[in-house]
């Protein structure tokens, strides 16, 4: 199955990455398999019957680069946040020596009770500095746009978490895949309902739908390819 939208002229797209993907582009020129590691929580691991974005991304990248073998390793664990993910960064990410690391982070810091956002932000910063010492490009994926984190008691924390991720990523020269903004545009520009972008069977109104996972995988693929092209990878 080709995991991409039927209408290529859809209005909502992810923004371009600020920094080129130097390591991923270099690996495109080599004959070996290309490895990407996706670390995060349930959006990465998968929830219910929804096929998560790492599988969608792998499918899209293999279509875009048919002469290369690209593996996306899913290292998501549902319910985790940056502190727990940082603890396993070496064994689950660095040991794999990926060309690209995608770190989905921030939602549980808002959704779950008891998180100190400054502490979570410090762990994100520590993780990005750890990854910067390796030969991997880094993309940070921010929060999902979901009713569970848009309520009156959560929205201020959501906005602050988004701002912290932006600032920390900029300080570490890491790209951000702005999932929150992309999903917001699904609703406000494309006029999709929350029952379309959020799993309608999820009583928490938190987890992405099949539609969202598919679109996020596709948009992430396009953003990765464009950032690799900045350093002159072979045309797809």
Q: What is the pLDDT of residues 74-89, one digit of tens each?
A: 999 999 999 999 999 9
Give the whole-angstrom CA distance, residue 204 versus residue 131.
33
Hey, is 208 helix, strand or coil?
Answer: strand
Mean pLDDT by runs of 10 across the 236 residues of the chain is: 52 88 94 95 91 96 95 97 97 98 97 95 98 97 97 97 98 97 94 94 93 95 94 53
Encoded tokens for 72: 């996306």
Closest CA to 94 of 104, 81, 85: 85
Within its chain, how far is the Cα of 84 from the centroid?
Answer: 17
Burial of 82 (0-12, 13-18, 19+ CB in 10 A): buried
What length is written for the chain? Answer: 236
Position 6 scores a pLDDT of: 54
The helix or strand, by DSSP H or E, that contains position 38, with its residue range, turns out to be strand 34-40
* Residue 180 CB contacts under 8 Å (≥ 6 apart), including other chains: 142, 143, 144, 145, 158, 162
pTM of the model: 0.92
Give the whole-angstrom CA distance, residue 98 versus residue 95.
8
224, 54 in Cβ contact below 8 A?
Answer: no
Position 9 scores a pLDDT of: 57
Give the whole-angstrom CA distance, residue 125 versus residue 167.
10
Give the whole-angstrom CA distance, residue 236 versus residue 213.
23
Closest CA to 53 of 70, 40, 66: 40
């Amino acid at each position: 199955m080709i995991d991409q939208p039927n209408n290529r002229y859809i209005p909502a797209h992810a923004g371009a990455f600020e920094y080129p993907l130097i390591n991923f582009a270099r690996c495109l020129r080599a004959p070996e398999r290309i490895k990407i590691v996706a670390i995060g929580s349930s959006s990465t691991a998968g929830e219910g019957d929804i096929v998560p974005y790492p599988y969608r991304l792998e499918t899209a990248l293999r279509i875009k680069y048919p002469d290369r073998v690209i593996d996306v390793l899913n290292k998501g664990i549902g319910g985790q946040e940056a502190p727990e993910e940082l603890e396993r960064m070496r064994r689950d990410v660095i040991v794999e020596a990926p060309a690209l690391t995608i770190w989905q982070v921030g939602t549980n810091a808002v959704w779950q009770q008891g998180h100190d956002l400054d502490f979570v932000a410090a762990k994100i910063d520590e993780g990005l500095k750890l990854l910067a010492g390796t030969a991997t490009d880094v993309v940070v994926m921010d929060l999902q746009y979901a009713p569970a984190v848009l309520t009156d008691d959560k929205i201020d924390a959501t906005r602050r978490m988004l701002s912290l991720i932006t600032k920390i990523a900029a300080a570490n020269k890491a790209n951000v895949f702005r999932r929150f903004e992309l999903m917001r545009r699904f609703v406000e520009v494309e006029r999709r309902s929350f029952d379309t972008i959020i799993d309608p069977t999820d009583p928490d109104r938190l987890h992405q739908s099949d539609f969202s996972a598919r679109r996020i995988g596709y948009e992430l693929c396009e953003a990765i390819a464009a950032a690799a092209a900045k350093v002159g990878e072979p045309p797809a």
